[in-house]
Homo-oligomer: A and B are copies of this chain.
Amino acid sequence: MLTNPTSDRVRSVRGLSRRGARRKSGAILVEGPQGVREVVRHAPQDLVDLYVTEAATERHRDIVDGARSAGRFVHEVTDEVLRAMCDAEHPQGMAAVVSWRPAAIDDVLDASPGTLIFLTNVRDPGNLGTVIRGADAAGADAVLVSSDSVDVTSPKVVRSTAGSLFHLPVVTGLDVEDTLDRLRAAGVRTYAADGTGERTVDEVDRRSPHAWIMGNEAWGLPTERRRRCDETVRVPIYGHAESLNLAMAATLCLYASTRG
């Protein structure tokens, strides 16, 4: 049982809340049973250490047993130690250190993807994580994230993905213009999601390979980036709302792909 909230180990786990430490170690922090469960199920080989309180060990036997039978390190910790390790206010009894690497754009394109989403200049961690979760639910082939977006490995993003970060390839650090050109060259239609679009998401071709291109939460996609796409398309608005929030708009686009 780890009881010292100021030990080097605790400090090193907590350090993963900082981008620099994540980069250096190639590890991220996954907080709470929902996310940890998906690591144990889908990427047990990447689980480095699982930290869990006594109460959570009882409550989530499936997760702890799964980690043990995959031969991973399970450490029992006090509530105080867990809180000291975590970025979340309520980590719900467990956290894991997990190896994670972004996917490569070449591999994504080589696999002949049907539906992609490309997030550019997205600044809110909750939005980014929620879109990854929505992309997973809609069965998208991968999520692409530009270098001018928030860091995918930050604890808030990881929490918002609810484990989906371990379900589908996520490519990070992409140059927007270069990637739009590569998508088109690979035969992937690029649809800029923007309220100014003439046709709606349900009116454009979603049977051919395509990518939804999303812009910043507040100011959307700049004109030059939209022009680089095949077409600007909109999610229809039927009431008086000015717009939808980014995560909702992205999820509606991705589900339009499932009805293609």
The SS class assigned to the A binding surface is: loop
The answer to whether A182 has its CB under 8 Å from any CB of chain B is no
Other-chain residue from B139, B240, B248, B259 in contact with A248 (beta carbon distance below 8 A): B248
The answer to whether A219 has its CB under 8 Å from any CB of chain B is no
- For A218-245 the 0/1 string (1 means CB < 8 A from B) is 0000000000000000011111111111
Are B202 and A237 in touch, CB under 8 angstroms?
no
* A140 CB contacts on chain B under 8 angstroms: 239
Are A134 and B238 in touch, CB under 8 angstroms?
no
Other-chain residue from B135, B136, B139, B237 in contact with A137 (beta carbon distance below 8 A): B237
* This protein's copies in its complex: 2
* A168 CB contacts on chain B under 8 angstroms: 239-240
* A136 CB contacts on chain B under 8 angstroms: 239-241
Are B164 and A241 in touch, CB under 8 angstroms?
yes
Other-chain residue from B135, B137, B139, B244 in contact with A251 (beta carbon distance below 8 A): B244
Q: A244-B251, A251-B251 are in contact. Are A259 and B202 (CB under 8 A)?
A: yes
Residue on B with the closest CB to A141? B239
CA distance A133 to B135 in the complex (A): 21
Kindly identify, within residues 17 to 44 of chain A, every residue whose CB is under 8 Å from any CB belonging to chain B: 34, 38, 42
Kindly identify, within residues 79 to 94 of chain A, every residue whose CB is under 8 Å from any CB belonging to chain B: none
Give the interface centre of A245, A248, A259 by most chain B CB atoms within 10 Å: A248
Q: Across the A-B interface, give the 6 residue pairs with the lowest CB-CB distance, nearest first.
A: A139-B238, A167-B240, A137-B241, A136-B241, A136-B239, A139-B239
- A-B contacts, 9 of them at CB < 8 A, read A34-B242, A38-B240, A133-B245, A134-B244, A134-B248, A162-B243, A163-B241, A164-B239, A252-B252
